[in-house]
Amino acid sequence: MIQTKNLSKLYGNFKAVDRVDLNIPAGEIYGFLGPNGAGKTSTIMMILGIIKPSDGEIFLFNEKYTPNRLDLRKRIGVVPEKHPTGMWTWMTGFEYMAMFAEFFGLKNSKERIKHLLSQVDLLEVGNKKIAEFSRGMLQKLSIVRALLHDPDILFLDEPISGLDPIGIKQIRDLILAENREGRTIFISSHLLSEMEKICHRVAIIFRGRLMAEDKMSALLAKLAKDREIHIDLESIPSQLSDQIKTFPFVLDSMEQDNTLIIKVSKEGDYRKPISEYLIKKNLIPLRIEEKSLSLEEAFVTITRDNVQMFTGFPLSEGGKQ
């Protein structure tokens, strides 16, 4: 559905995007992550035809894409970071949606508009002027507007920014429901915990280069240097943490209230020997849980510690993110 080959963008002598290759199949939820200035926005704007690449090619639906391919552009829905304000504020939510329905030549669109607005709890405020909408309401309106013409690909830039927990769940559920219908979804976001919940694959861009791209589980497993085993006990005797440190596979051990936190290497399963040791000391584990690296932790690891591993060149001290 989306493919780029050697996609690059120069601003003067500054290379904002450096030979980025993407290959996103139909029906995938793809997370595109990166710190500010990494080249994320420039990549998206080139794919959308808003800015011209300095080099490389873009393919959508297996066809070479250029901004004048309106037949391809009409199959795309876009939720920009900026919401429908400015010239639209005098309109009501219904009028705003109806205007875009007319742009796309949609017939009998009233029922679809009502259905989409009801999905995000905006149906009852459809007659309210956009000027009176909160930031979260604007975000929801922008998302359902992008879905109005039933696009094959949906681009979302920070789709849950400004939403409360209920709004975040509504948008998450809507994204998952649209994906189950076969829609391909490209998401750019800094809310990493949400990306971890919904994305099939994620890519991380840094200094214009694609540093990592994989399925969520594979990416996290690759980045993890170690694991933590959390064990709840009724009480923790003094010196227990130091005694646990003597095991050859234990990297570190610490106490947090009545929880023993043991850091071990990512290879091997050490829960059994640790449990046997505790039971011999008449300490019964109430809970044993292995803590995996989260996407948020992985993101920090990539951009700070593993730049050389993924890009092939060292990062100077002054250039650390």
| CA neighbor of 10 nearest in space, from 76, 56, 48, 75 | 56
Q: Look at 14-28, 69-83, 250-264 and tell me which has the smallest mean pLDDT.
A: 69-83
- For 151-184, how does the pLDDT look when each residue is reduced to its tens digit (9 = 90+)? 999 999 888 777 788 888 888 888 898 899 899 9
How many helices (H) and strands (E) the chain has is answered by 12, 14
Using an 8 Å Cβ cutoff, are 285 and 275 in contact?
A: yes
pLDDT at 79: 87
Using an 8 Å Cβ cutoff, are 205 and 39 in contact?
A: yes
Please provide residue 87's backbone torsions phi and psi, each rounded to the nearest 5 degrees: -70, -15
Q: What is the assigned CATH class of domain 225-291?
A: alpha beta
Angle 222-38-36 (CA atoms, 0-180°, nearest 5)? Answer: 110
Q: How many residues are listed for the chain in this entry? A: 321
Using an 8 Å Cβ cutoff, are 2 and 153 in contact?
A: yes
Number of Cβ within 10 Å of residue 97's Cβ equals 25
pLDDT at 46: 93
Between 83 and 16, whose confidence is greater? 16
How do strand 29-33 and strand 201-206 relate by DSSP bridges? Answer: parallel
Say if residue 210 is exposed, middle or buried (CB neighbours under 10 Å; 0-12, 13-18, 19+).
buried
Give residue 15's identity as a one-letter amino acid code.
K
pLDDT at 194: 78
pLDDT at 302: 64
pLDDT at 129: 92
**Whole-number Cα distances in Å, 132 to 85, 89, 98, 182:** 10, 8, 18, 34
What is the residue-averaged pLDDT of the chain?
Answer: 85
| CA neighbor of 3 nearest in space, from 40, 37, 46, 36 | 46
| CA neighbor of 191 nearest in space, from 299, 80, 83 | 299
pLDDT above 90 covers what percent of the chain? 36
What is the average pLDDT across 94-120? 90
Query: Would you give the DSSP letter of residue 59?
Result: E
Query: Would you give the DSSP letter of residue 54?
Result: S
Q: What is the pTM of this model?
A: 0.75
Between 316 and 290, whose confidence is greater? 290
Place of tokens 């400015």: 86
pLDDT at 304: 58
- The sheet carrying 184-188 orders its strands as 76-79, 153-157, 184-188, 29-33, 201-206, 209-215
Q: What are the boundaries of each domain within the chain?
A: 2-221, 225-291
Say if residue 86 is exposed, middle or buried (CB neighbours under 10 Å; 0-12, 13-18, 19+).
exposed
- For 220-270, how does the pLDDT look when each residue is reduced to its tens digit (9 = 90+)? 777 666 788 899 998 888 889 899 999 998 989 998 888 999 988 777 788
What is the average pLDDT across 94-113? 90
Looking at the domain that runs over 2-221, which CATH code has it been given? 3.40.50.300
What is the average pLDDT across 216-223? 74
